[in-house]
Amino acid sequence: MLDSVNALRQARGVSPLTLNAKLNAAAATHSRDMSVQNRPWHFGSDGSSPIDRVRRVGYSGRLVGENISETYETELETLAAWMEDAPTRDVILDPAAREMGFAWYQENNGKIWWTLVTGAPGLAPTPGSGPIASAGSTSAGAS
């Protein structure tokens, strides 16, 4: 996923992203939690926001954005769907982003819950900052 995201960013003249373990942890937590809730949305079952989740894992930078999806498709098909939708594309191509976290959780029935989080290290977290966007390939996938 990182290579694909960076290829898209390079084609647009935007700096590449690096993976960040803390952002990966925030993404993994949310992917599993969306499965528990059985709905793709940006708030955790405990009411947490994307900003709350990156803070909980100790990420000291600023959340730039979060993309989510609920599909039965591969990571490249999910990325393609995100690139077709302006809000999710903007999260992927945001020039402020420097780091990325990515995770998925697959249920026994094959449904996959995807989360991609971008951040900017060295920038203080800003209350209410960071766009959040979602896209899905199934009718229930968009929120």
Residue 12 belongs to some domain of the structure: yes
pLDDT, tens digit (0-9, with 9 covering 90-100), for 41-53: 787 778 889 999 9
Range of the domain at 33: 1-120
Assign residue 57 the CATH number of its domain: 3.40.33.10
Sign, Cα dihedral of 53, 22, 84, 135: negative
Q: Where are the alpha helices (DSSP H) in 85-129?
A: 86-93
pLDDT, tens digit (0-9, with 9 covering 90-100), for 83-99: 999 999 999 999 999 99
Tally helices (H) and strands (E) across the chain. 5, 5
The whole-number pLDDT of residue 6 equals 98
Residue 34 belongs to some domain of the structure: yes
Quote the CA–CA distance of 14 and 107 in Å, as a whole number: 34
Q: How would DSSP label each residue in 56-74?
A: HTT--SEEEEEEEEEESS-
Number of domains in the chain: 1
Residue 108 belongs to some domain of the structure: yes
Q: Whole-prediction pTM value? A: 0.84
The three-state secondary structure class of 103 is strand
The whole-number pLDDT of residue 44 equals 78
